Amino acid sequence: MSMTMTQKILARHAGLSEVHAGQLIQAKLDLVLANDITAPVSINEFSAAGFDKVFDKSRIALVMDHFTPNKDIKSATQCRQCRTFARKFDIEHFYDVGEMGIEHALLPEKGLVAPGEAIIGADSHTCTYGALGAFSTGVGSTDLGAAMAVGYTWFKVPAAIKVKITGHKRRYVSGKDVVLTLIGKIGVDGALYQSLEFCGEGLKELTMADRLTIANMAIEAGGKNGIFPVDDITREYLKGRAVRSWEPVEADSDAEYTSTLELNLDEIDCTVSWPHLPENTRSAREGRDVAIDQVLIGSCTNGRIEDMKAAAEIFKGRHLAKGVRGIIIPATQDVYRDCVRLGYAEIFLDAGCVISTSTCGPCLGGHMGCLAAGERCVSTTNRNFVGRMGHVESELYLASPAVAAASGIAGHIAHPEDIVSPEHECHGGGSASPAGTETSCLSEVK
């Protein structure tokens, strides 16, 4: 029987020669993940079931990233419960203040996820790791509590949608624009309980940061997971990073898909999701009449160094519009350190922004940037549901770091080309010149 990438991974982990869409299976897991909000529930279920040991202390990751440093007594209590559990069972991958980062940026950075693996997390954006050719998906805290003890869980094998990427990225276009365009085409339930499997010649245009962003938002189209094939870009990212040996999978040439979509990068421009659904997409050029109060650049979707670079290139030599607040959240300690080393932090400060510790806080309306009634924010996060970042009468617009930075400077939703004149355009964008040296107008910062 022919299988997709996801089906091959699940078959391997279930000890079966083949699986088919809709089949219920029990599969072994390579990594189990929880954070300071979801882990306490899992720990409670773990204890209630009478478990007295974990299946593998090296294959559990607990990341304190949502409300740390602790914002109040309740969050402090939750983190204390996680710390106690980690000490009791000697959990090797426990990340707390000073060492933690936003979980879905931190784990790939640490090499804890790899091609061909099966990974679950008590967080819906665990699907991020499909960027590296893994099957990864979010589960409930109860399922995760059991998985910490036994090392396996059950799945219904998903069908798949093939997404063929063609063409070349335009200036200022990133993975965020690609995935928002996709969601705008198929809707927030267009891939309901299906795997989004990406392929095509256009993949060579997508950096690892682009792929991580796209896979991260597969859930926003209803997907069970998103997954990319392993290529030279993947191998380069994993070189010297992966902590376990890995074996990639490839979809069979005659694998069955429920549908095939094509995204031509030549046709994708800077895209924004208007409130209150990620599918409500429009061109950034349509936002000149949308005055804003805040921009947020960070999150598990867009908090990597490439995202920081894209924002810094727009902010350099410019300042936030009067009345606009700018919040920058590097996704990990290493990203923060690189922002300082590369001069991005100084650019952000000069532009009137604040730089936060790595946290999910504002993305879910927790802390570090909540909105009041009537306020509008352009954010690089992944959801813009009613009340997602604060008051139910606030408005959240999803965009790339370049669009968010341009909007902060303009005081309204703006395309980067509205801010950067042609004679001052940067040609770096995180890419490399033919000679292999990074090109960027930020080189003059030092």
Question: Quick one: pLDDT band at residue 421, thresholds 50, 70, 90?
Answer: low
Is the predicted pLDDT of residue 344 greater than 90, yes or no? yes
Beta partners for 136?
119
Q: Stretch 121-150: mean pLDDT, rounded?
A: 96
Query: Which of 390, 177, 172 minimizes the C-alpha distance to 276?
Result: 390
Which pair of structure tokens corresponds to residue 127?
A: 């699907």
Lowest mean pLDDT among 71-80, 194-203, 326-335, 435-444: 435-444
Q: What is the pLDDT of residues 143-200, one digit of tens each?
A: 999 999 999 999 999 999 999 999 999 999 999 999 999 999 999 999 999 999 999 9
Domains of the chain, start order: 5-245+255-264 (3.30.499.10), 272-444 (3.30.499.10)
Residue 325 φ then ψ, to 5°: -95, 135
DSSP string, 238-272: HTTT-SS--------TT---SEEEEEEGGG---EE
Q: Stretch 308-333: mean pLDDT, rounded?
A: 96
Question: Quick one: pLDDT band at residue 1, thresholds 50, 70, 90?
Answer: confident
Question: Quick one: pLDDT band at residue 29, thresholds 50, 70, 90?
Answer: very high
When computed from its CA atoms, the radius of gyration of the chain, rounded to whole angstroms, is: 21
Instruction: Determine the pLDDT at residue 284.
Output: 96
Residue 52 φ then ψ, to 5°: -125, 10
| Strand (E) or helix (H) holding 141 | helix 141-150
* Torsional sign, CA 310, 264, 383, 360: negative
Is the predicted pLDDT of residue 436 greater than 50, yes or no? no
Question: Quick one: pLDDT band at residue 360, thresholds 50, 70, 90?
Answer: confident
Query: Which of 443, 363, 350, 331 minimizes the C-alpha distance to 405?
Result: 350
Q: Stretch 111-126: mean pLDDT, rounded?
A: 96
Instruction: Determine the pLDDT at residue 68.
Output: 86
Instruction: Determine the pLDDT at residue 405.
Output: 98
Beta partners for 440?
none
Beta partners for 432?
438
Beta partners for 295?
326, 378
Instruction: Determine the pLDDT at residue 367.
Output: 87
Asked if 404 contacts 328 with a C-beta cutoff of 8 angstroms, the reply is no
Asked if 158 contacts 194 with a C-beta cutoff of 8 angstroms, the reply is yes
**DSSP label at 3?**
-
Query: Which of 301, 289, 268 minimizes the C-alpha distance to 379?
Result: 301
CA-based end-to-end distance of the chain: 58
Helical axes 175-186 vs 208-216, angle rounded to 10°: 30
What's this model's pTM, rounded to 2 decimal places? 0.91
Is the predicted pLDDT of residue 424 greater than 80, yes or no? no
Q: Which long-range contacts (CB under 8 A, 24 or more apart) does 389-394 make?
A: 389/296, 389/362, 389/363, 389/364, 389/365, 390/365
Instruction: Determine the pLDDT at residue 427.
Output: 36
% of the chain at pLDDT higher than 70 = 94
Question: Quick one: pLDDT band at residue 431, thresholds 50, 70, 90?
Answer: very low
What is the rounded distance in angstroms from the CA atom of residue 231 to the CA atom of residue 402? 27
Is the predicted pLDDT of residue 429 greater than 60, yes or no? no
How far is C-alpha 392 from the chain's CA centre? Answer: 24
Comparing 100 with 200, the larger pLDDT belongs to 200
Q: In sequence order, what E strands does 123-174 have?
A: 135-138, 152-156, 159-166
Instruction: Determine the pLDDT at residue 363.
Output: 82
Q: Stretch 379-384: mean pLDDT, rounded?
A: 94
Q: What is the pLDDT of residues 235-266, one digit of tens each?
A: 999 999 999 999 999 999 999 999 999 999 99
Query: Which of 97, 118, 130 minimizes the C-alpha distance to 11?
Result: 118
Query: Which of 50, 270, 113 minimizes the C-alpha distance to 176?
Result: 270
What is the rounded distance in angstroms from the CA atom of residue 188 to the CA atom of residue 220? 6
Q: What is the pLDDT of residues 267-319, one digit of tens each?
A: 999 999 999 999 999 999 999 999 999 999 999 999 999 999 999 999 999 99
Q: CA-CA distances (angstroms) from residue 135 to 1, 5, 29?
A: 19, 8, 10
Asked if 269 contacts 177 with a C-beta cutoff of 8 angstroms, the reply is yes
Question: If you search the block for the tokens 């699907």, which residue do you land on?
Answer: 127
Is the predicted pLDDT of residue 426 greater than 70, yes or no? no
Asked if 265 contacts 202 with a C-beta cutoff of 8 angstroms, the reply is yes
Is the predicted pLDDT of residue 417 greater than 90, yes or no? yes
Beta partners for 209?
none
Is the predicted pLDDT of residue 434 greater than 90, yes or no? no
Mean pLDDT score across all residues of the chain = 92
Question: Quick one: pLDDT band at residue 423, thresholds 50, 70, 90?
Answer: very low
Is the predicted pLDDT of residue 31 greater than 70, yes or no? yes
What is the rounded distance in angstroms from the CA atom of residue 285 to the CA atom of residue 288? 7
Question: Quick one: pLDDT band at residue 425, thresholds 50, 70, 90?
Answer: very low
What is the rounded distance in angstroms from the CA atom of residue 325 to the CA atom of residue 352? 8
Q: Stretch 372-389: mean pLDDT, rounded?
A: 93
